[in-house]
Structure 1
Amino acid sequence: MPEVDLLPVPPVPDLAALLPRLRRALDGGAPVAPHPAGASEPTLPRHAPGALPDDLALVVGTSGSTGTPKLAMLRAPALAASAHATHERLGGPGQWLLAMPATHVAGIQVLLRALHVGTDPVVADMTVPFGPAPFAAAVARLDPRARRYTALVPTQVGRLLDDPVGADALRSFAAVLVGGAALPPTLRARAEAAGVALHATYGSSETAGGCVYDGRPLSGTTVALEEDGRVRLGGATVADGYLGRPDLTHAAFTVDRDGARWFRTDDAGHRDEDGRLHVDGRLDDVVVTGGLKVAPRPVEEALLARVLGVREAVVVGTPDPEWGQAVSAALVVRDRAPRPGIEDVRAALRGAVPDHALPRRVLVVPQVPLRGPGKPDRRALSRMFEDLD
């Protein structure tokens, strides 16, 4: 097995150079580890090239909301299984639009899916702030006869739906995959009302990206829940572990007696009466206040649904001398919307969430800090609250 090849990727990738390099990796050449061009070149963990998995094609970083990023090792068959299952679920091959960095699994998978079915992807201009005009300009370069697909994060979808030009562009897609962060029910409802075909995806670098769409696993993927609600994902798209970290690999990955690979996530979830998976959030994001546990996601969804003018909401735990942790809500409000105070928020949420889950602190912020595409940086938000004390 050749050594892992660091692959610098600019904000707007040169597809004429990048796609052949990805194709060689898929066909047995040196595996690639994409990273942002122009940034300092990352240092790969120490590893023995001879010990790398056969058919290793891609080494891609995780972008969890906490912890140190790790590098998941994805073999060519896993990437092919992911692409095949995605197109099967969406209704067949199509042309893909890349509108997020190709250094994250969600972005690089857009290009790999295009390679898998032999279509020419289009890249949006990511040297300018994301918005309806540049997105629509990229959509205009797609083949008007092709079935269209793209992948976005919830914040991008919200910005596009706020503008008629953006909403029109979204409506032209046969499917819009939305991942990286939870898709709020209010945003899904807005998209459905606008005639946009959204699919909420769940997965990670360790599963070659999304492997559960709208609560249903893709073909070849199995979902299991442990007693505490921890989600385990198994199947053909699961990575072969973390580059140079056998300790972390051993803790997160297993192979069952039938030879199936499993990844033990840090997420908690439950199934509804129809068997659909609902992810409640990361286990280490749970806020313990007065000895009671509060999962952030239901509170965040209630904030979006019930507090006037709130566009984004993230709930974190902050130190509190009386309660141990206080439920604290960081809010982004729409332009010209009133800034809600703590009493406004508690009154709006009372009855929608348990009393112990009502926020005790509220902070209105201009934007939510992110780790990876669309994923809120909860540690940074916690520090914002601490800076106010």
Structure 2
Amino acid sequence: MAAPPLAQSPLGIPRSRVRQLLAASAGNVVEWYDWYAYSFLAVYFSKQIFAESDNPLVPVLSAFAIFAVGFFMRPLGGLLVGSFADRYGRKAAMTFTIILMGAGSLLLAVTPTYETAGVLAPVILTLARLIQGLSVGGEFAAATTFLVESAPPGRRGLYSSFQYISTTIGQLLASGLAALLAVSLSKADMSSYGWRIPFVIGAVLSLVGLWIRKGADETSAVAGEIQQGKVERPKMFEFLVRYPTKAAMIVGITMAGTVAYYTWTTFLPTYAQQNVGFDEAQSLTVGTISLVFFMILQPLLGMLSDRVGRRPMLITFGVAFVVLPVPLLGSLENTFASLLVIQCVGMVFLGCFTSVSAAVNSELFPTRVRASGAGFPYSLTVAIFGGTAPLIGTSLKDAGNSGLFPWYMSALALISTLVYVFALKETKDQPLT
């Protein structure tokens, strides 16, 4: 007799659930491609959008300031879209976020230069970034709960890892395209028109992601009961009123992870350019290679967390980032190998956080308020600590104190590690209520 067709993918995921992962991941790829394209291209468009200055760091600082402002829309997105997802379902919320991201990307693509529009240019850039921030905050709230709720018992860590697998794919696309354009075009062409190309592509990809998400199945049974009038609608801040301790825990869990993540995956190439004179195009290439490595780690570490638990993974991450940032960044040299090794070493330990982040946050709250409960405090923490990481690093460099930045990361890692050790209980074997 012929062997029956495989019922599972290579990672042990039932093929019946692959569609769910694809729906969440494909849209998430587009979301994060659009989000990260900004940071990779900031060094090129900053001089076009902002007024000229004698200090070459001023336009870059302005671009990263708007990068940080976009982050401060993320808590609002986590709250509004998270509440929407709790009431009307994860699928409807994910449809809304990807439309919003496409609109923001298109607006970035057509942003005029300071020379042609004056102060209106940075205003339009800021508006586009605010739209994207709202979208990304809502995306995390809806997509992470969708992923974890789609998982069978004992596999939530693996499914959770797809949040950062898809995030990293989006970042890779943004980084890879930026690197390709950087080596294909002159610096003058990149600053003139080349930086707009990735944003046009992002707007088109949003339509593709929207089409893929139409095939997803809703994961929240509570949302259906709410629509049928069987269950009272959750209030917007119900998660905070009923579960204030858990909301506070997400802040403590996340603060070190988000600074480490945005430093190691986004800001490190710029940090190398600013502090050791690293070549712009080469730094993007190093970033792209290390991101591939980081992506491969995610499902492996996610499966490991399903065996050993979330807490040991987070403690490993926390201790490593208390100890490592100062010696790693202090040893950075103007060589390809130096930056690549430092970036990959950090990513091994960073993966212990990113692979389980969605699972830990979702496992803390019941279905009724899971999207808003996990989405809002997480996005608020990312806005305060993650979104400001490039700005703080660049500001310290401008003030002649760049050596303080790794100490800043270590201090936050110490706080989060204390939360992992003394406040967080193991959640891997708890059923989703």
TM value normalised by structure 2? 0.22
Highest RCO, 1 vs 2 (Cα 8 Å, sep ≥ 6) = 2
**TM-score (ref. length: structure 1):** 0.24
Higher strand content, 1 or 2: 1
